[in-house]
Structures are given as structure tokens and as C-alpha cells.
Structure 1
Amino acid sequence: MDNTTNNTKLTAVYAAIGHLLMHMFAAFYFVIVLAIEDAWGYSYNELLNLWFLGSLLVGLGALPAGWLSDRWSRSGMIAVMFVGLGISSILCGFSSNKLMLFFSLSLLGLFCAIYHPAGISWVVNTSKETGKALGVNNIFGGVGIGLGAFFAGALIQLINWQSAFIIPGIISLITGVFLINHIRSGQISIVNITSEKFSKNPSKDQMLKIAIIMLISIACLSFVYQILQTSLPKVIDIRLANNLDLTTSEIGFIVAAIYIVSGLMNYIGGVLADRYSEKSVYIAGIIGQGCLLLFIISLSNVWLIVFSLMIVAFNSSILPAENLLLAKYSPEKYQSLVYGIKFIVSFSIGPIALLMISHSFEISGDFEYLYMIFGFVMIALFIIVLSLPSQQVKSGTAG
């Protein structure tokens, strides 16, 4: 590996901050929309759908972002992301009508698309204990979702909903300037670093089967992730707000706590994926989510928060195992392309999930049918993933 220790540490820091901010910007609208609903007088469904194109671009933009990061620079693309997210978020804060907010949110989604194909490749190619490194990095992604809800709730309460967009935008812009300076000073390489990893791949006759199973698994897990992330603030509002006398900011704090606590499970999941079979870690998280989704179908007490936390924790903790499986099953020269495809699938699920959530709320005023359907889907997925090849990546060979 041709980078210095200092470069590695700086890369890890910016990769972590990038993951945190990307997920913060992708998630905070689900809390902010509750305040805009009161301020503008539009329905929740109407305002939620303003994020439709943005959520679509988070997925569709992953492949070209991965292509550019491979052919130009991963660090350069992350710098572009920081600056773009900052400008887009500030524009959201200055929006005075639905059209401007729709445009700004769509731009925000486009810049969110950069992180995963560029950032995950950055981490994979500069780490020794890859599972642990991915786990730590994923913690920041989970914390970003929580901080998005926390800061949105806090800034709405202390100032207004506009500040919940503008202040994080300024932070992202400043971070981008710092990264650009580190690149220009040579402390972070503008040239991509390549690491020789995961050279042993399954036989060609297994590739199609593995690809189909992993695509199905990624899609199902993404549905659960998107449904929980989008519906959780509203389902807490519906089922618990009156009983527990919760304000919008307090709902934001609860969602923040759920994602921050569950995000810490990424580290444990990464360590387990380095030490044990990635497949075993993966399937345990899948069946856990399936069972718990069935438990929360009609819960309207504090156990809703507890079980929701556990579902998100399972969903988060198996991400290092999933990324290790993808790296191990993919030919090295196509690794970035595979990650790009993964995140196109993952985040292209967002708009579909958004429509499902919107229609579910319109029909029943709740989301219990979605929770039930995907509880059974995850149990079926558990059975399907059992047929993946069982191979173990030791921490020594992973990095």
C-alpha cells in the first residue's frame, strides 16, 4: 500500500465525516417535514413526495459517481460531495415554495449519491482489518441519521425549520474546504490507492446464483431500512405522541437515540465479520429483523421504541458482513462497479418505499401492513440466503 500512515488516518477521518453527513442530509427531512407541514399548511403526503426525485437520485447517481471516482479520484469526489451537499442544503433552507424545495431536495439527493461508491472503496482500499474499518465507518453513517433527526428537532425548536437546513449546510461546506486544502497540500492523495484484497473468488458457475441472491437480499434489506427510516418519526407521532405528550423535537430526539445506539452495533458487526463467518453474521441479522417487524405491527407503547431500536440495530450491524461478502464474491477489477450497483439498488428502493409508505398512510393512517409484509419477506430471505457459499474471511487476509 503506497499511502503514509498520516494519509490513512486523514482518509479514515474524512470518510467517517462524509458518511455521517451524507446520512444526515438523506434523513433529516423526515423530521423537518413535520414542521413544514405546520408552517405551510400542506398535507404530510404532499410534502413527503417532494423528496421523491431526490431519493431516486441517491440511488441512480451511485453508478456514475463510482465510475468517476475510479477514473478520476475518490478523494476528489468526496470533496465535491461535501461542497454540493452544503450548497443544496442551504438552498433548501431558503426555499419559499414547494417547487424550490423540490428542486433543492433533488439536488441534495444527487450529491448524496457520491458517498457510497467513492467512500466505501476508499475505506476498503486503505484498511487492514477491513470488517472493523467498515464497522467503524458505518457507525458514523448510523450516527448521521440520528444526528440528522437530533439537530433537525433541536434547531426547529430553538430557531426555525429553515435553520435545520442552513446550519448543517454551512458545516458541510467548511468540511469540503478543509478536505480540498489537505488534497492540495499533498496530505491526502488525489490519486486513487489500490490494495490487493479479496483475490480468491467463487467459481464462475456459482457467480450467477450468488449475484441473484445478493441482489434480492440487498433489495429486501433496503426496503426495511427505508421504511423504518421514513415512517418511524410519523409512527411514533401517531401511536405515542398523545399518550406520552411528545413534541416534534422530542420525536426527533427519540429517533436520534434509536439510530445513534443502533449505529454502534456496526463496530460489533464488523469485528464479528472479521472473526467469524460473514454469512452467519448476515443471516442472523436478517431473521432478527423479520421476527421483530412482526412484533411492532400494532404496538402503541414504549416497546415500539425498544423493538424499533433492535430492528435498526440488526439492519446496521450486518452491513460490514454484507460489504465483505460483496468484496469477496466480486472480481477485483469490478469491485467499485459492484458497490455502485449495490447502492443503486439500495437507494433506488427509496422512492418505491416512499410511495408505499405514502399510500399506506393514506389508506390506513398507519404503517402496520407494511411492517407485516416485510416481516414475512425477511423470514423468506433468511431461507434464501442460507444457500450462499460458506467461506470465512479472517482479519489477516481481509486487509
Structure 2
Amino acid sequence: MTTLAGAAPVRETRAAVTWLLNLAHAIDHMFLLIFATAVATMAAEFGRTRWEDLMPLGAGAFVMFGLGALPAGRLGDLWGRRQMMLVFFGGMGLSSLLVAFTQSAWQLAAALTLLGTFASIYHPVGIPMLVQHARSPGATIGLNGLSGNLGIAAAALVTGYLVKWFGWRMAFAVPGLACLACGLAFAWLCPRETEPPSRRAGKAKVTLTQAQLARAFLVMTAAAATGGLLFNMTTNANTQLMTERFRGVLEDPALLGILLSVVYAIASLAQVVVGRLIDRMPLKPLYFRVALLQIPLLVVAAYAHGWLLFAALVGVMVSVFGAIPFTDAMIVRYVDDRLRSRVAGMRLAVGLGISSLAVWALGPVVKGVGFDTMLLVLAGIASITATIVNFLPEETAA
């Protein structure tokens, strides 16, 4: 029998591990966007005259961010989630340091691809680890989403200042060292698993037939692909979009970084709100409304400049970030814990593998047709997401 004296340290340890898992989500997204934030400064050093020409070198990171989720999820269930998170912290820290020391374009592309490979571990492993004991999984996912998007805000803010005062290499090196320190803290605080998740007893929160479960998996995968396209195109383009549309209004990169971090910080709160709503409402109508909201906001952003663009970007990112918790919530609601990392890995491998094309296409698309056309295309993609969501099965409580 657990005594009150013994229960307190267990709660404190679990709380510390929860904080580190949320911090890991921030690290995951921040590190993937350092390159997109610093690319304009890096272009000349790597022999490119325009940032658009260097941007495709980051595509490998996002391809592996999706494809690497499949083996990561399998290892998370069969080997252990704690062990995989240790690989995540160590791999992210070391590969970020490797990027800082690259001297040629092919070295940069290889190092960024390695960074994306380790980044692929977090979503299929860290989020199932986080929610496995959660009483309110929607709220837990929402708070975790807030943490991830604060990492995006940190990429805009921290990278902007490090690039301005110390150069782009320090923008990778400093976070890399911090990540290694977080890994040491996680190794010390997170208790060892007595058995891998695949051997535990579990049960899905909502009962679906095999046909309904297959349909839900197809919907979550397709929605992850279209939502991922929106997420990758916006978060990777926003720095350069604001630079272009604020010309003559505000041109200091550090101040623009602050503005963009404010956009992300405000938008991140949407995930907390949506997460709490997920615990109280059926997923299907809620997800549909959030996806539908993206369409007019992207159209406005396509034609906005200056401070109107800032306001439009707040709305766009609120709706884009607000859609993120749904796919993880589907997995928690429809899949039992023994399989969650593998199901998440399969969904991410397909969805993010497709959406990673956005990073490769971003530079050529903007160079060819401009930001206005790109944003209108994204509005069309948002309408596809809203259509896909309507194919979710109706829920029957277990």
C-alpha cells in the first residue's frame, strides 16, 4: 500500500517529467524552425544570392520528421518510451551542434536531415507517454500543444537575437547545448519503465468497429497531411512574409522576430482552449468549425500589408494551431495505449511525409508566384481539410 509520504515524491517526479516532456515539444518545433528563421542570413555564406534558393536544403529535415515517426513509434511501444526520449534529447542536441559546424551546402542538408530524423521521435513517443496517465487528455494535449508552439515563438525570438549579435551558427549551438542539459535532467528524473507499453493492459476511450477505426485512421492521416501543409508553409514562410510585407514600416530583423513571436504566443493559447473543448465535445463538429475558420483568414492575409498583416497572421495562426490537437486527441480517444505510439507513427509517417513537401516547395513557389498566391492556395487546402473531417465516424462511448 502506498503511503501519503511515499505518494508525494511520486507526484513531484511525475510533475517534473511532465514539464520536461512539454519542454521537449517546444524543443522539437523550435529546432525545426531555426533554419527557416536564419535562412536569409545563411544564404550568402553558402553561395546563394536569395534565401529562396537555400530553402530546399531544409526539406530533408521535414521528410525525415514524417518518415522517421514510423520506426520511432514502433520502438516506443516495443522497446520503451523513456529510452526513446533519451535518444531524442541526445540526438537533437548533437545534430544541432553538427549544423553549427557545417561548411558546405551538402553538409548543411545532411545535418538538417539528421536533425529532422531525431525530431521525428517526439510526437509518436512523447505525447503517448504524456497522456498515458492523464485524467483529461484533451486538456493535457492542449497544454502540450501550447508548449510546442511556444517553441515556435522561441525560434522567431531567440534565433533573431542570436543571429543579430552572434551569428547564425550560435543560433544552432546554444539551443543544442541546452537540449543536452534537458536530456541529462530527464535521465535523472524519469523513472525506468518496468515493461514496454505493448505489454500493458489498455482500452480505448471510445468503442469503434474495425471499419470505423479504419475510417478514422484514414481521416486523421489525410487531415494530418493537409493540416501539416498549412502548418509547414505558414511557420516556415512567416519570417520572410513579414519581412516583405513590413518593408517601409518596420525592417529590424530582431523587432520583426519579436512581433512574430507575439503572433505565435497568442496563437498558442488556442490549443489550450481547444484541448479543454475536446474533453467536453464530440471531435467531428469541433474540428470542422476550426478548419472552416482558416479559409477566410488566409484570404485576408493574402492581400494584407503592415499592421493589417500582423492582425491577419494572428487569426491565421490561431486557427492553424487550434487544429493541431485533434489528430493526437483522435489517437487517445480511439486507440488503446498499447498501440498508440505505433498508430501515431504510421499516421505521422504518411501525413508529415506528404506535408514535408511544403518546405521543399516553399522557396520556388514564393519566387515564382509570390506570397499572395501561396496563401490563396493554402485557403483551398483548408477547405479540403474541412471536407475530410466530415468523414469522421460518429462516436459511441465505451
Q: TM-score, normalised by structure 2?
A: 0.91
Q: Is contact 2:66-2:356 (8 Å) kept?
A: no
* Counterpart for residue 378 of structure 2: 374
**Residue 59 (structure 2) pairs with residue 52 (structure 1):** yes
Q: CA deviation at 1:102?
A: 1.7
Aligned letter for 2:183? G
**Aligned-partner Cα distance in 1 for 2:375–2:284:** 25
* Counterpart for residue 203 of structure 1: 209
* Counterpart for residue 221 of structure 2: 215
* Counterpart for residue 127 of structure 2: 120
* Counterpart for residue 159 of structure 2: 152
Q: CA deviation at 1:341?
A: 1.8
**Aligned-partner Cα distance in 1 for 2:384–2:61:** 31
Instruction: String of CA shifts for 1:33-57, please: whole Å, max 9, x gaps.
Output: 1211244451313321111212111
**Residue 20 (structure 2) pairs with residue 14 (structure 1):** yes
Aligned residue runs from structure 1 range 160-199, under 5 A: 160-183=167-190, 186=191, 189=193, 191-192=195-196, 194=200, 196-199=202-205
Q: CA deviation at 1:316?
A: 1.7
Instruction: String of CA shifts for 1:154-197, please: whole Å, max 9, x gaps.
Output: 111121111101100000011111212234xx4x5474465734
SS at match of 2:204: coil
Of 93, 102, 105, 1:86 maps to 93
* Counterpart for residue 268 of structure 2: 263
Q: CA deviation at 1:127?
A: 1.2
- Which consecutive unaligned segments of at least 5 residues does structure 1 have? none
* Counterpart for residue 295 of structure 1: 300
- Which consecutive unaligned segments of at least 5 residues does structure 2 have? none
SS at match of 1:367: helix
SS at match of 2:306: coil
**Residue 38 (structure 2) pairs with residue 35 (structure 1):** no
**Aligned-partner Cα distance in 1 for 2:360–2:185:** 38
**Aligned-partner Cα distance in 2 for 1:36–1:30:** 10
SS at match of 1:297: helix
- Give the share of equivalent positions with the same residue, in percent: 23
SS at match of 1:105: helix
Q: Is contact 2:97-2:173 (8 Å) kept?
A: yes
CA spacing shift, 1:178–1:213, aligned 2, 3 Å: closer
SS at match of 2:302: coil
Of 279, 285, 308, 1:280 maps to 285
**Aligned-partner Cα distance in 2 for 1:354–1:321:** 23
**Aligned-partner Cα distance in 2 for 1:167–1:269:** 33
CA spacing shift, 1:25–1:346, aligned 2, 3 Å: farther
Q: CA deviation at 1:58?
A: 0.8
* Greater Cα shift, 137-146 or 384-393: 384-393
* Counterpart for residue 349 of structure 1: 354
Q: Is contact 2:73-2:343 (8 Å) kept?
A: no
Q: Is contact 2:226-2:355 (8 Å) kept?
A: no
CA spacing shift, 1:66–1:209, aligned 2, 3 Å: closer
Q: Is contact 1:32-1:153 (8 Å) kept?
A: yes
CA spacing shift, 1:270–1:392, aligned 2, 3 Å: farther
Q: Is contact 1:147-1:260 (8 Å) kept?
A: no
Q: Is contact 1:278-1:392 (8 Å) kept?
A: no
**Aligned-partner Cα distance in 2 for 1:129–1:207:** 22
Q: CA deviation at 1:330?
A: 3.4
CA spacing shift, 1:267–1:97, aligned 2, 3 Å: same
Of 72, 82, 86, 1:75 maps to 82
Of 70, 94, 103, 1:96 maps to 103
Q: CA deviation at 1:8?
A: 2.3
**Residue 365 (structure 2) pairs with residue 360 (structure 1):** yes
CA RMSD of aligned residues (A): 2.2
* Counterpart for residue 236 of structure 1: 242
Q: Is contact 2:34-2:159 (8 Å) kept?
A: yes
CA spacing shift, 1:350–1:207, aligned 2, 3 Å: closer
SS at match of 1:243: coil
**Aligned-partner Cα distance in 2 for 1:52–1:369:** 21
Q: Is contact 1:357-1:367 (8 Å) kept?
A: no
**Aligned-partner Cα distance in 1 for 2:296–2:227:** 14
Q: CA deviation at 1:201?
A: 2.4
